[in-house]
Amino acid sequence: MTSFLGVLGGMGPLATADFLKKIVENTPAQVDQKHVPILLYGDCTTPDRTANIVGDGPSPLPSLLAGIRFLNQAGVKAICIPCNSAHQWFADIEATSNVPVLHIARVSVAQVKIKNPLARVVGVMSTMGTYRSGIYTNALVEMGYKVLTPSEEEFNTLVSPGIAHVKANRVSSAEAVFQKVASSLLQRGADVIILGCTEIPIGMQRQCQLTPAIYIDSTEALAKSAVDLMSG
Amino acid sequence: MTSFLGVLGGMGPLATADFLKKIVENTPAQVDQKHVPILLYGDCTTPDRTANIVGDGPSPLPSLLAGIRFLNQAGVKAICIPCNSAHQWFADIEATSNVPVLHIARVSVAQVKIKNPLARVVGVMSTMGTYRSGIYTNALVEMGYKVLTPSEEEFNTLVSPGIAHVKANRVSSAEAVFQKVASSLLQRGADVIILGCTEIPIGMQRQCQLTPAIYIDSTEALAKSAVDLMSG
């Protein structure tokens, strides 16, 4: 009986493809049969997470729990959700699942010390929804870090439009705006920057490769944790 | 009720991630909710297709049909299999499925006339298993094309090792050997070349971008057909 990693994806679809690629890239396998079997429930019609957190958009929770139940019934070993904003509903998700659900922000925050043991100031780029949910800020402040986030104007004119660019396949347009936000956070004193929205590493791929000591890619952090869990 | 595209994947895992990316890239959507919902059954432990076709490896058929049954029970609208070699078992797969299953070789062959209406000679790069199965050669000869395939030595020293490189995440090593095979087919007179194994476009990504009129990417052909079907 094959042991599958469950993936609750489609939020967004390009981020899900990027997550699957990073699972493969972080698996030391020589042949197909040694890679991680994946069962993906990718319902991209799930209502927008940020629209619900910051405004009056419909709740994504029923869709999220439908996916969690589907993956549990199918018998997956554990579940990953390559969407940071969806972790606003993590308590309900965890309560519904009989199998472990990895928490993308927790595994990303754990990377800060590994990337830069001397880091004191951590920048976080995310959706407005993730920012409001506090999942990164609370965890980082608890660990003693100073947290920097984009200004409200930067969220509105750069971060949110950049995420929308990725969701519409305009990756190079996204790169330009994300880079401005990263420069601003570095100028303000960030030692490392967490890319805490799974669309952002797609736009910042080049920067992550050029200066890997600065950026923590939440998609990759989740992929690495998943590979560890599945090979354990 | 969300209408999902079923994907029988994991053969190999990087090719599956590439397929999902190409689905997204070929969907004219501006927001997550307008993309194609995906249900992926990615059992990469499925026995190697070519090892069974050319040798005495175990049959992948039970694994393939388990996936087809799973996707049917889950209520998908149609099924794609981003693995050319698995289409050796297409008749059994189609007989088991209650929903349409797209045929990767048929949709790829249909691209020849679109890419180059004057093409007469078609090169096909594939696994040895796909070559032996005849799925490309038979369809192309029926349509009046002359078909060129790698020599047995090229299969053994270049194509098969290149595919193994991709399955082990050594993409740049794959590029070098695939390019030699493509040059050889072009020198022998190929007007277009079908990349008839879903690992090959990953290694040949740069060539596909530089000379798009020459290469038919079977992964992309399948993705385009799937998007058409799901939006229809």
Q: Which residues of A touch B33 (CB under 8 A)?
A: 44-48
Interchain contact B167–A (C-beta under 8 A): yes
- Do B160 and B128 meet the contact criterion of CB atoms below 8 Å apart? yes
pLDDT digits (tens, 9 = 90+) for A170-219: 999 999 999 999 999 999 999 999 999 999 999 999 999 999 999 999 99
Determine whether the interchain pair A37/B43 forms a contact, defined as Cβ–Cβ distance below 8 Å: yes
pLDDT at residue A12 in the model: 97
Q: Which residues of A touch B230 (CB under 8 A)?
A: none
pLDDT (average), residues A19-46: 97
**Is A80 an annotated catalytic residue?**
no
Q: CA triplet B106, B110, B114: central angle to 5 degrees?
A: 160
**Percentage of residues in chain B having pLDDT higher than 70:** 100
Q: State which residue of chain B sits closest to A12, comparing Cα positions.
A: B32
Is A1 a residue whose pLDDT tops 90?
A: no
pLDDT digits (tens, 9 = 90+) for B161-173: 999 999 999 999 9
pLDDT at residue B87 in the model: 97
**Percentage of residues in chain A having pLDDT higher than 70:** 100
B195/B126 Cα distance (integer angstroms): 7
Peptide bond into A9 cis (omega under 30): no
- Do A194 and A122 meet the contact criterion of CB atoms below 8 Å apart? yes
Q: Which residues of A touch B46 (CB under 8 A)?
A: 32-33
Determine whether the interchain pair B38/A16 forms a contact, defined as Cβ–Cβ distance below 8 Å: yes
> Which of B14, B42, B167 faces A31 most closely, judged by CB atoms?
B167
pLDDT digits (tens, 9 = 90+) for A104-141: 999 999 999 999 999 999 999 999 999 999 999 999 99
Determine whether the interchain pair A31/B74 forms a contact, defined as Cβ–Cβ distance below 8 Å: no
Q: CA triplet B145, B147, B149: central angle to 5 degrees?
A: 165
Determine whether the interchain pair B11/A18 forms a contact, defined as Cβ–Cβ distance below 8 Å: no
Determine whether the interchain pair A44/B37 forms a contact, defined as Cβ–Cβ distance below 8 Å: yes
Determine whether the interchain pair A35/B13 forms a contact, defined as Cβ–Cβ distance below 8 Å: yes
3-state secondary structure of A108: helix
Q: Which of A104, A113, A110, A135 is nearest to A213 (CA)?
A: A113
Pairing of strands A121-125, B5-9: unpaired
Is A20 a residue whose pLDDT tops 80?
A: yes
Q: State which residue of chain A sits closest to B76, comparing Cα positions.
A: A41
The type of residue at A137 is: T
Q: State which residue of chain B sits closest to A171, comparing Cα positions.
A: B25
A180/A184 Cα distance (integer angstroms): 6
pLDDT at residue A87 in the model: 97
Cα B96 versus chain centre, distance: 21
Residue B207: pLDDT band with limits 50, 70, 90: very high
Which residues of B are known catalytic residues? 83, 197
B14/B186 Cα distance (integer angstroms): 27
> Which of B13, B33, B47 faces A45 most closely, judged by CB atoms?
B33
Interchain contact B58–A (C-beta under 8 A): no
pLDDT at residue B82 in the model: 98
ipTM (interface predicted TM): 0.96
Residue A66: pLDDT band with limits 50, 70, 90: very high
Determine whether the interchain pair A37/B48 forms a contact, defined as Cβ–Cβ distance below 8 Å: no
**Percentage of residues in chain B having pLDDT higher than 90:** 98
Pairing of strands B121-125, B38-42: unpaired
Interchain contact B36–A (C-beta under 8 A): yes
**Is A208 an annotated catalytic residue?**
no
pLDDT at residue B232 in the model: 77
Pairing of strands B38-42, A38-42: antiparallel
pLDDT at residue A144 in the model: 95
A192/A143 Cα distance (integer angstroms): 15
